[in-house]
Structure 1
């Protein structure tokens, strides 16, 4: 078993200042070192035009461009490199797993991916220059893997495929934009109809009204359905699916076989986080190992977060934090059954 940790980042202020302070804090970090090392052995298979990318951010989330500019200044890196590593537009992503279960009062998400991509940062951010306050784990510093905003809108995404990509934003940046731009599920569904998608992903949405929607989104179309369970395949835009979906259907079936109406959150958490329950995954070398399990409660703005399986949760009261009460702890700890390196630790 490998011990892992996640750092809790709290910030109230402007996007530009947030980006700058993150850049300065991480300039000599393993996260940045490993990103640069990655490009020393692999050449990017994509090209990013700065002005085109800036215009896209101005169209959909201008505050995020200010954060990227701040990150550029804090890291003292060229903007081309910042956009390549942290911009979330026209970049490449790898396949992943992930499973999601919702009830009217909560969403539980297993984040399944490769340890080398995990940066171990959990962010609470309250901007004063536009955009809604958010809580959730980060991806490529600026993006969000899953999360909730101040209005209780909860978002998570699941991979479907990365074939035939087109110009557009990738999942973690779209996730951040949803949380900062949208107050409820209806606004998020509309946003996902308008924003350009780089790849095919399902975006799962829940707000205090208690209805869950799965938005199947690809560069070629968007479809919406109501569902409480989602893994790694589309059910409406089926032509977008990969050919090999045995694992996705298996996890979906395992959740459906064990869930029941009004299932308490603690029982549902055990269902998702139990190493031997058939949903938690340990396929880390295949980009499908569960690294964290997160639970969001949209009505009271509560959050549970756990690293690894059979884990103890760390709890957050986002409502208290929004009123000015800082989170006292600075790190969360857990362990996973792998010897693979993590981007922020090795």
Structure 2
């Protein structure tokens, strides 16, 4: 890891806390825990502002509770709600890796989140909304958003980057609010699938969804979308589209393919020896050969997650796992 990246990682803001109550109250709590925001609102062009307003209108129609949360967030920081408008439009590329394996006792899942070192907010939040399902998941600074997590019904959700925004982009809901919606509003994979096949989107992403009996990847692009189901008890996702209907929208690239193939190998190992599934998933998440666990800016692993959808156990390991350091996965339960 380069010296500059080490310095950036040492400044990372890792926290765990609870946010409960009305959407407005949850917004206030997360703002108070997070502090100041990157101030780019004044830099929006007239065209960008119009696009952000169109995206906000879609959120208002589909997920009105999020509008209340934005209001609470703005109030806590003594900002106008329009100062947060750009949070409806942001997207990320990055690189992430995920794997789900069917065991006799249920489906287990693991995931690494990778991004650029400059983004230092990494909050694990136990959210208990007064309207929706309780969930534990990661928040990385985009208001209202979650990047992965598990809800009280045993539904696991995460996203993976799949290329740049289309240009021109069409208005839609940003990925971080989609993940949050799924955790808060969907009881199982069936409900999540219905939402992902219909929700207006503005960017290319894969959404990884697992419950106690089903796992799928929704490969989503503004122009098309398709579902990949578990095959022979195994499902893997990285940062290229795999479904034949989607491969042209985000083609294979070497790092993504290497991580995909490595996780397939780990998955087959688990399928042949179920008893060591947790240790094997840990080994998969700290692999430095592909690498699944990265240390290069843009592909730097910020956290790892392992979840058992049947028991409701979810484990997180914070920070990039270097080769000489054993990953420490701490257990949280809803």
Q: What is the Cα deviation at residue 121 of structure 1?
A: 0.9
The equivalent of 2:197 in structure 1 is: 193
Say yes or no: does 1:238 pair with 2:247.
Answer: yes
Distance in 1 (alpha carbons) for counterparts of 2:84 and 2:165: 25
Distance in 2 (alpha carbons) for counterparts of 1:19 and 1:131: 15
Distance in 1 (alpha carbons) for counterparts of 2:191 and 2:179: 13
**What runs of 5+ residues in structure 2 fail to find an aligned partner?**
1-5
Distance in 2 (alpha carbons) for counterparts of 1:253 and 1:275: 13
The equivalent of 2:280 in structure 1 is: 267
Change (3 A) 1:48 1:20: farther
**What runs of 5+ residues in structure 1 fail to find an aligned partner?**
319-346
Alignment of 1:316-335 (within 5 A): 316-318=332-334
Give the length in aligned residue pairs: 302
The equivalent of 2:313 in structure 1 is: 302
Q: What is the Cα deviation at residue 133 of structure 1?
A: 1.1
Change (3 A) 1:84 1:283: same
Answer whether contact 2:55 2:171 (CA < 8 A) is retained. Answer: no
The CA deviation string for residues 52-87 of structure 1, in whole angstroms up to 9 with x for no partner, is 4454223221111111111111111122221213xx
Distance in 1 (alpha carbons) for counterparts of 2:73 and 2:265: 45
Answer whether contact 1:22 1:74 (CA < 8 A) is retained. Answer: no
Q: Which of residues 165, 171, 192 is equivalent to 1:167?
A: 171
Answer whether contact 1:281 1:290 (CA < 8 A) is retained. Answer: yes
Say yes or no: does 1:14 pair with 2:22.
Answer: yes
The CA deviation string for residues 5-40 of structure 1, in whole angstroms up to 9 with x for no partner, is 5111202211111112333444xx3x52xx12x668
Q: What is the Cα deviation at residue 301 of structure 1?
A: 1.1
Q: Which of residues 217, 220, 228 is equivalent to 1:225?
A: 228
Answer whether contact 1:144 1:173 (CA < 8 A) is retained. Answer: yes
Runs of 4+ with >6 A deviation: none
Alignment of 1:110-259 (within 5 A): 110-128=112-130, 130-139=131-140, 140-164=142-166, 165-209=169-213, 211-227=214-230, 228-236=235-243, 237-242=246-251, 245-259=253-267
Distance in 2 (alpha carbons) for counterparts of 1:59 and 1:277: 42
Distance in 1 (alpha carbons) for counterparts of 2:289 and 2:238: 18
Distance in 2 (alpha carbons) for counterparts of 1:213 and 1:200: 17
Q: What is the Cα deviation at residue 274 of structure 1?
A: 3.7
Say yes or no: does 1:315 pair with 2:331.
Answer: yes
The CA deviation string for residues 261-317 of structure 1, in whole angstroms up to 9 with x for no partner, is 136122211221244563211121xx1111111112211111110122142112112
Q: What is the Cα deviation at residue 46 of structure 1?
A: 2.3
Q: What is the Cα deviation at residue 219 of structure 1?
A: 0.6
Worse overlay, 231-240 or 158-167: 158-167
Q: CA RMSD in A?
A: 2.2
TM-score, with structure 1 as normaliser:
0.81
Say yes or no: does 1:290 pair with 2:294.
Answer: no
The equivalent of 2:96 in structure 1 is: 98
Distance in 2 (alpha carbons) for counterparts of 1:253 and 1:14: 43
Distance in 2 (alpha carbons) for counterparts of 1:225 and 1:120: 29
Q: What is the Cα deviation at residue 183 of structure 1?
A: 0.6
Q: Which of residues 71, 74, 90 is equivalent to 1:72?
A: 74
Answer whether contact 1:112 1:291 (CA < 8 A) is retained. Answer: yes
Answer whether contact 1:99 1:232 (CA < 8 A) is retained. Answer: yes
Change (3 A) 1:269 1:282: same
| Bigger RCO (CA 8 Å, 6+ sep) | 1
Distance in 1 (alpha carbons) for counterparts of 2:202 and 2:191: 20
